[in-house]
């Protein structure tokens, strides 16, 4: 469980810039975050990376293409909505569901790390 954040990052999907946020320990973890300096290529990289490294399976919601369900075999279901704004170069994620063993901080850290690796 030491790299739970990395596994969930893969499940989480989108990249984030060096300006990405990480709340301090003990701080409230909001269910949504916005990341800056994001391109379409960054988002593709994050998804490809998580598929390769963690075997993440992504399933788009047929009713809303911005809702993606990502599942890892061990940790369970993570469901995230993301809105990408190309002109603003931002992406906003909202966590709809996460595995009970994972904290919001671990999910956000995983997303931040994935974005940083793809930036």
Confidence at residue 99, expressed as pLDDT on a 0 to 100 scale: 84
Domain span holding position 36: 4-20+29-118
Least Cα distance to 36 among 13, 20, 14, 47 occurs for 20
**In contact, 23 and 107? CB cutoff 8 Å:** no
pLDDT tens digits along 12-63: 444 333 333 333 343 345 589 999 999 999 999 998 998 888 777 878 888 8
Residue positions counted in the chain: 119
CATH number of the domain within which 103 lies:
3.30.310
Element counts in the chain: helices (H) and strands (E): 3, 5
Tally of structural domains, the chain: 1
- Going 35 to 40 to 42 to 46, the CA torsion angle's sign is positive
């Amino acid at each position: 469980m030491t790299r739970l954040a990395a596994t969930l990052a893969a499940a989480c999907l989108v990249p984030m810039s060096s300006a990405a946020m990480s709340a301090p320990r003990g701080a409230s973890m909001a269910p949504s975050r916005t990341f800056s300096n994001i391109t379409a290529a960054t988002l593709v990289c994050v998804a490809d990376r998580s598929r390769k490294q963690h075997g993440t399976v992504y399933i788009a919601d047929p009713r809303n293409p911005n809702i993606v369900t990502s599942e890892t075999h061990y940790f369970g279901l993570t469901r995230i909505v993301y809105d990408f704004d190309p002109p603003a170069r931002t992406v906003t994620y909202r966590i709809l569901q996460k595995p009970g063993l994972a904290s919001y901080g671990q999910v956000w850290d995983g997303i931040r790390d994935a974005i940083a690796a793809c930036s």
